[in-house]
């Protein structure tokens, strides 16, 4: 008999790829996930219905301001009379010149980065009288 022959492994030492889950445990976890899904579905449905009801609420119209004193006292035209008053927005590139930067220890020390990586913009609201 050679030393390289295979021997049969006893049945109690065999390796199982997947341990068998008891049927009760599988059924319990399936019921838990089904119940959790049902609760979440019900909660989301009630939330959507509640938001729809809130949107459909009409405000009380008996206190309208059509006859208010302010409306009659300040009866003015909405057009400008001739004065120039300009309103606008602006956007400008404030990046600056492209320079060489060292990487400060994130690469080899003599290595230098060049080129533009990202432009910087400035936004402003403008008004002129």
Q: What is the pLDDT of residues 2-55, one digit of tens each?
A: 567 777 766 665 555 555 667 778 888 999 999 999 999 999 999 988 887 777
Domain closes at, from 5, 40, 55: 55
Residue 17 lies in a domain: no
Domain-embedded: residue 16 = no
Residue 2 counted as domain residue: no
Range of the domain at 114: 84-128
Structural domains of the chain, count: 2
Q: Is residue 35 part of a domain?
A: yes
Q: Is residue 30 part of a domain?
A: yes
Please indicate, yes or no, if residue 14 is contained in any of the structural domains.
no
pLDDT given for residue 23 in this prediction = 77
pLDDT tens digit sequence for 100-123:
777 666 667 777 777 767 788 888
DSSP letter string, the chain = --TT---PPPGGGPPPSSPPPPHHHHHHHHHHHHHHHHHHHHHHHHHHHHHHHHHTPPPPGGG-STT-HHHHHT---SS--S---EEEEEEEE-------EE-TTSS-TT-EE-S-----EEEEEEEE-
| 109 belongs to a structural domain | yes
Task: Judge whether 50 lies within some domain.
Answer: yes
pTM of the predicted model, to two decimals? 0.30
């Amino acid at each position: 008999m050679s030393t390289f022959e295979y021997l049969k492994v006893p049945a109690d030492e065999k390796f199982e790829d997947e341990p068998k889950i008891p049927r009760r445990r599988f059924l319990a976890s399936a019921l838990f996930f089904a119940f959790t899904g049902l609760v979440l579905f019900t909660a989301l449905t009630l939330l959507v219905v509640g938001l729809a009801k809130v949107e459909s609420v009409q405000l009380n119209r008996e206190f309208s301001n059509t006859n208010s004193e302010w409306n009659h006292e300040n009866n003015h035209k909405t057009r400008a009379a001739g004065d120039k008053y300009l309103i606008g927005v602006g956007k400008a590139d404030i990046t600056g010149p492209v320079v060489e930067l060292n990487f400060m220890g994130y690469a080899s020390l003599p290595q230098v980065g060049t080129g533009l990586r990202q432009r910087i913009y400035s936004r402003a609201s403008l008004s002129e009288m």
